[in-house]
Amino acid sequence: SQTIHQWPATLVQPVGSPLSLECTVEGTSNPNLYWYRQAAGRGLQLLFYSVGIGQISSEVPQNLSASRPQDRQFILSSKKLLLSDSGFYLCAWNTGQGVGMNTEAFFGQGTRLTVV
Amino acid sequence: DAKTTQPNSMESNEEEPVHLPCNHSTISGTDYIHWYRQLPSQGPEYVIHGLTSNVNNRMASLAIAEDRKSSTLILHRATLRDAAVYYCILMRYGTYKYIFGTGTRLKVLA
């Protein structure tokens, strides 16, 4: 069966420090991968999505970047964190078949990031 | 991206049916209607999706209006575990993006 792993679960980082969040998917190949952010009490904002290795689409210009070095690995990074980067970060995947509109997305358990 | 509109919050009594509405007046013919729910401090969970016909699964039913400009998620017997934020999303053919709105916060009363 397919599983998604996201770590760490919680993270407290000082302003100006770098960030690296990792997400891996098991049990499937060529998934579409997604990074979302949810600010406290708000909805989910799509940050990045990827349909293949090295293919990254950015939805919101910001202080963050994403990379997909392997088929089932998706990394969210920042060189210098801002206070506004605090939030709940979620990784998700769906099958790469078709164009994704008729398949469900599976979400990880999230990383709660607090920038202090 | 097509937009959806949902009430901010709803309440239901335990073991009663719940009808969660969603308006999507700008829906196109190739947009699929997806529903997800998010429990506190967890990632969203898939509930159901459909295109034109009503759909049923073990979690819920999805009723789609004939003109497809609105849909309703039906929980047949609400339980306390169904308390969550419910999101209605449109996914357009040719895109890969799940664009979440603000959702409906469902409160289930014992």
pLDDT, residue B68, reads 95
Flag whether residue A26 sits within 8 Å of chain B, measured between CB atoms.
no
The verdict on a CB contact (< 8 Å) between B94 and A101 is yes
CA distance A26 to A93: 10
B96: nearest CB among A32, A42, A90: A32
Burial A104-114 (b: 16+ CB within 10 A, else e): bbbbbebbbbe
Mutation for B interface: A2, A42, A44, A109, most B CBs within 10 A: A44
pLDDT, residue A96, reads 64
Question: Is residue A98 pLDDT above 60, yes or no?
Answer: no
Report the SS3 class of residue B70. strand
pLDDT tens-digit readout, A65-91: 999 999 999 999 999 999 999 999 999
8 A C-beta contact, residue B87 and residue B103: yes
Q: Scanning the structure block, which residue is given the tokens 């997806």? A: B34
Flag whether residue A87 sits within 8 Å of chain B, measured between CB atoms.
no
CA distance A11 to B19: 38
Confidence of residue B96 (pLDDT cuts 50, 70, 90): confident
Output the average pLDDT for chain A.
90
Work out whether the CA dihedral A61, A67, A73, A75 comes out positive or negative. negative
8 A C-beta contact, residue A57 and residue A65: no
pLDDT, residue A97, reads 62
Mutation for A interface: B53, B98, B102, most A CBs within 10 A: B98
CA distance A57 to A35: 10
Q: A19-26 and A73-78 as β-strands: parallel, antiparallel, unpaired?
A: antiparallel
Cβ contacts of A101 on chain B, cutoff 8 Å: 30-32, 91-95
CA distance A25 to A71: 9
List phi, psi (to 5°) of B68.
65, 10
Question: Is residue B24 pLDDT above 80, yes or no?
Answer: yes
Q: For chain A, what's the residue count? A: 116
Average pLDDT over residues A48-74: 91
Dmax (CA) for chain A in angstroms is: 42
Running DSSP on this structure, what letter comes out for residue B5?
B
The verdict on a CB contact (< 8 Å) between A105 and B42 is no
Output the average pLDDT for chain B.
92
Work out whether the CA dihedral A65, A62, A105, B50 comes out positive or negative. negative
pLDDT, residue A41, reads 81
Question: Is residue A99 pLDDT above 70, yes or no?
Answer: no
DSSP string, B78-108: --GGG-EEEEEEEEETT---------EEEEE
pLDDT tens-digit readout, B29-43: 888 899 999 998 899
Backbone dihedral region for residue A27 (phi beyond 0: left; psi -120 to 50: alpha; all else: beta): left
